[in-house]
């Protein structure tokens, strides 16, 4: 099963993508996670990506396309994958399609998790991420057991720079301009499925599994 997740930043793509990956035994590939890991390790890619990410913009297509094409060519993607945060532009979607075409493969589903901008801003200001392991929480909906401390590894949890309100507004503008056109792109390909992302997380997931036919 080859799936891409669509939706504004903060719509819940990551949470749902992880669950889909567990349920179907396919890798969860998050380009945001890959960039954050590179930043943490101080790689060249991380250094290049950081300035764009901190400003709420997109990392240039050429820095992300080869990375994803390589990743989905790995052995563990033989039965599929769930891409979270990629594609984010039409050229990225075209690059993905071309890479799959070469192998006589194609995407099965593009799942759009639909949430209004207003809700996104509210949600993201409450998001917290662990500085060490990257686990994500929310002060209201998924709080840590001890305030400000990661349940998983005991490190500090913080509001990520790219989740700060002014950056979120910028990210939403970027989303509408560059990523939203993918909704029509995948609708035209006949693989778009939209789920209501304002429902409780479990209900969003059961709607997704219904769409995927599980
Ligand atoms: P995410 O965790 O998916 O919200 O990604 C965090 C940030 O990483 C985004 O705001 C972008 O700056 C960058 N990023 C992640 N994926 C992509 C992509 N496919 N294309 C361009 N930039 C990306």
pLDDT at position 124 is 86
Q: What are φ and ψ of residue 126, in 5° steps?
A: -95, 0
- Per-residue pLDDT tens for 75-109? 999 999 999 999 999 999 999 999 999 999 999 99
Measured between alpha carbons, how far is 69 from 86 in angstroms, rounded to an integer? Answer: 11
User: Do residues 170 and 56 make contact, with C-beta atoms less than 8 angstroms apart?
Assistant: yes
Average pLDDT of 11-36? 95
- What residues pair up with 137 in beta bridges, in sequence order? 128
Whose C-alpha lies nearest to ligand 1, atom 15?
32
**Å from CA of 58 to ligand 1 middle:** 6
Q: Mind telling me the catalytic residues?
A: 13, 88, 127, 160, 171
- Integer CA distances (angstroms), 131 to 139, 155, 158, 159, 167, in order: 16, 7, 7, 10, 19
Q: Is the CB of 59 under 6 A from ligand 1?
A: yes
Whose C-alpha lies nearest to ligand 1, atom 11?
58
Q: Is the CB of 9 under 6 A from ligand 1?
A: yes
**Whole-model pTM above 0.85?**
yes
Strands (E), 39-174: 81-84, 109-114, 127-130, 136-138, 157-158
Nearest-CA neighbor of 96 among 115, 72, 74?
Answer: 72
- Per-residue pLDDT tens for 115-171? 999 899 888 889 999 999 989 899 988 999 999 999 999 999 999 887 888 888 989
């Amino acid at each position: 099963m080859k799936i891409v997740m669509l939706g504004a930043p903060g719509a819940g793509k990551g949470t749902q993508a992880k669950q889909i990956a567990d349920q179907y035994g396919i890798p969860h590939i998050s380009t945001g996670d890959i960039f954050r890991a590179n930043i943490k390790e101080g790689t060249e890619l991380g250094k290049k990506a950081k300035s764009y990410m901190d400003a709420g913009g997109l990392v240039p297509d050429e820095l992300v396309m080869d990375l994803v094409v390589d990743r989905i060519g790995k052995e563990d993607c033989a039965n599929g994958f769930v891409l979270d945060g990629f594609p984010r532009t039409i050229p990225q979607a075209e690059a993905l399609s071309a890479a799959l075409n070469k192998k006589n493969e194609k995407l099965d589903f593009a799942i759009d998790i639909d949430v209004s901008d207003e809700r996104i801003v509210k949600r993201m200001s409450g998001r917290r991420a662990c500085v060490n392991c990257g686990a994500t929480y929310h002060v209201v909906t998924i709080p840590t057991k001890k305030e400000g401390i990661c349940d998983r590894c005991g490190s500090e949890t913080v509001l990520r720079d790219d989740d700060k309100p002014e950056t979120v507004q910028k990210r939403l503008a970027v989303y509408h301009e560059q990523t939203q056109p993918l909704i029509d792109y995948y609708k035209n390909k006949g693989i778009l499925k939209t789920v209501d992302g304002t429902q409780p997380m479990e209900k969003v997931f059961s709607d997704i599994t219904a769409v995927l036919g599980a």
